[in-house]
């Protein structure tokens, strides 16, 4: 199962997120669930960096299937738009696959 952890600041904005695990939705070939989660979460990180030009701490470990992204500065409306769009995509994936392969946890202060 893929675990996504979302961490919010005191204003309710996402300041970092992490992804770990493997869906194993198709053990004999291409795993579309892993691919979709990876694409969704990496596009958000790229958007923060390349579109908004925000500094982010970014770590990826393909062997372990983990990704960690954290804003170096305070989240704002622009970063929140990108990250909430990512969450929207992840929730749609979770619903599509009936929660079998993806778990999303929110951590609020």
Helix (H), strand (E), coil (C) string for the chain = CEEEEEEECCCCCEEEEEEECCCCCCCCCCCHHHHHHHHHHHHHHHHHHHHCCCCEEEEEECCCCEEEEEECCCCCHHHHHHHHHHHHHHHHHHHHCCCCCEEEEEECC
The pLDDT assigned to 26 comes to 82
Per-residue pLDDT of 56-72, as tens digits, reads: 999 999 888 899 999 99
Domains and CATH numbers, the chain: 2-107 (3.30.70.1490)
Q: What is the pTM of this model?
A: 0.92
Average pLDDT, the chain: 94
Mean pLDDT over 74-93 rounds to 97
């Amino acid at each position: 199962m893929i675990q996504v952890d979302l961490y919010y600041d005191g204003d309710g904005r996402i300041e970092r997120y992490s992804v770990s695990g493997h869906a194993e939705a198709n053990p004999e070939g291409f795993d579309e669930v892993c691919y979709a989660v990876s694409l969704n979460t990496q596009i958000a990180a790229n958007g923060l960096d390349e579109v908004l030009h925000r500094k982010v701490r970014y770590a990826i470990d393909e062997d372990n299937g983990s990704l960690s992204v954290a804003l170096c500065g305070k989240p704002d409306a622009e970063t929140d738009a990108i990250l909430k769009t990512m969450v929207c995509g992840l929730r749609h994936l979770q619903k599509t696959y009936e929660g079998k392969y993806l778990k999303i946890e929110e951590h609020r202060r």
